[in-house]
Structure 1
């Protein structure tokens, strides 16, 4: 499993040495290097998330500790690489995931990467699990019901609650359809087709004009507000001759 990373250090030789170590570890992919934290933050804000940030601490203008609050939003792991042992309390106060002393040895570096790799696998597993099911509140206090995303056929708004229709039946929970729609945004198979219905494309049988027909025999009108986005998606995924 490959982890992406960047290096931040205002000493060119330190960047070169760490880059050489990274090149010797097959599980790491070095995306870029930076001479100061400001440029690194600008890069992250433009390109998004990386798995590991290796950062020096003592740098001009913006040091690694002061930049931690921002950088930690763009990475899974923040690892400080410094020649100064006395910064350790501040580093871990900034919730650093590692503290490597220069000159960094191959052994200490690979041990740290192995440790982060194990944690990274746990993160990926958790993210994968979160994309497979959700829990809704049941009718009784402290009652929770597990529903697999793959089992949801469609979701129907019913006054101040929703009814989730699945392959095995249905469940009711007191939440608005908009809140449910927001929750389902991470999944690319759910579409709201009118003010009252969200369907799963896994169970969409066909579309006839403004009518969406679900595999269980149900049919629903596609509302004007939602029609263009829904039909554009279907056109992009339509086999062309």
Structure 2
């Protein structure tokens, strides 16, 4: 699973160097960089969350240590990247998950990235184990319907609504398909195969070319936008001689 990250540093060359290192790690995705912590915090308040924040410490507007209490609310991992060894005690008191010294070497960076990847997998597994079901709003006021993830066969977009097809029937709720897709990211059994359909791999019977056939009998075309990621997943899980 790809981890999103941002970089905070008041030196442009430091941002460039760290961006190059991030680009060398396939499971890291740099979504934005900032010259100071205040701008980063403003962004995070809108974006709500990233997996990793790589932050300098000594910055003029707001230093990384002072910003930690806020930054930790918006990420899984806070990693300091600094030219100064002396900040280490303060960094770990601020609940930092890493402390990289500039200039950051490829080896030290990839080692830290691998360490965070393993921790991230543990977090996702824990979330998955704790979340075996979801609640959707029913048709009546203050009405809620419980749906087990394992019972979902596929989900169909209907303008501003979605229809959740389960092994026992279907339910309609007011939410967009993209929002539902985001909700299902922690579950690795759901795939969006076109602009209107998310399927559960638990009920995928076979794939014939561009057609995904589900065990209950439904068939749906795999859209060009989603085909490469979906087929790559299938290839990785295909038995080879």
Pair 1:61–1:191, CA change in 2 (3 A):
same
TM-score by length of structure 1 reads 0.60
Q: Indicate conservation of the 8 Å contact 2:55/2:80, yes or no.
A: yes
User: CA offsets, 1:91-142, max 9 Å, x none?
Assistant: 000000000000000000000000000000000111111111xxxxxxxxxx
User: CA offsets, 1:202-227, max 9 Å, x none?
Assistant: 79xxxxxxxxxxx99xxxxxxxxxxx
Determine the C-alpha separation between the residues in 2 that align with 1:82 and 1:91.
Answer: 10
Return the offset for 1:61. Answer: 1.9
Match of residue 15 from structure 2: 15
Match of residue 54 from structure 1: 54
Pair 1:45 & 2:9 matched: no
The 3-state SS of whatever aligns with 1:58 is coil
TM-score by length of structure 2 reads 0.60
Pair 1:201–1:28, CA change in 2 (3 A):
closer
Determine the C-alpha separation between the residues in 2 that align with 1:68 and 1:23.
Answer: 25
Pair 1:67 & 2:63 matched: no
Q: Indicate conservation of the 8 Å contact 1:190/1:201, yes or no.
A: no
Match of residue 28 from structure 1: 28
Determine the C-alpha separation between the residues in 1 that align with 2:92 and 2:126.
Answer: 24
Match of residue 145 from structure 1: none
Determine the C-alpha separation between the residues in 1 that align with 2:147 and 2:87.
Answer: 53
User: CA offsets, 1:38-94, max 9 Å, x none?
Assistant: 000000001110000000000002000000000000000000000000000000000
The 3-state SS of whatever aligns with 1:43 is helix
Q: Indicate conservation of the 8 Å contact 2:135/2:144, yes or no.
A: no
Determine the C-alpha separation between the residues in 2 that align with 1:119 and 1:38.
Answer: 27
Determine the C-alpha separation between the residues in 2 that align with 1:39 and 1:88.
Answer: 24
Structure showing greater Rg: 1
Determine the C-alpha separation between the residues in 1 that align with 2:146 and 2:76.
Answer: 32
Q: Structure 2: give runs of 5+ residues left out of the alignment.
A: 152-166, 178-195, 197-241
Pair 1:191 & 2:175 matched: no
Determine the C-alpha separation between the residues in 2 that align with 1:9 and 1:82.
Answer: 9
Q: Indicate conservation of the 8 Å contact 1:50/1:76, yes or no.
A: yes
The 3-state SS of whatever aligns with 2:61 is coil
Q: Structure 1: give runs of 5+ residues left out of the alignment.
A: 133-148, 150-186, 204-214, 217-229
**Pairwise CA RMSD:** 2.7
Match of residue 233 from structure 1: 174
Q: Report the count of equivalent residues.
A: 158
Match of residue 136 from structure 1: none
Pair 1:67–1:194, CA change in 2 (3 A):
closer
| Aligned residue runs from structure 1 range 71-86, under 5 A | 71-86=71-86
Match of residue 92 from structure 1: 92
| Aligned residue runs from structure 1 range 107-186, under 5 A | 107-132=107-132, 149=133
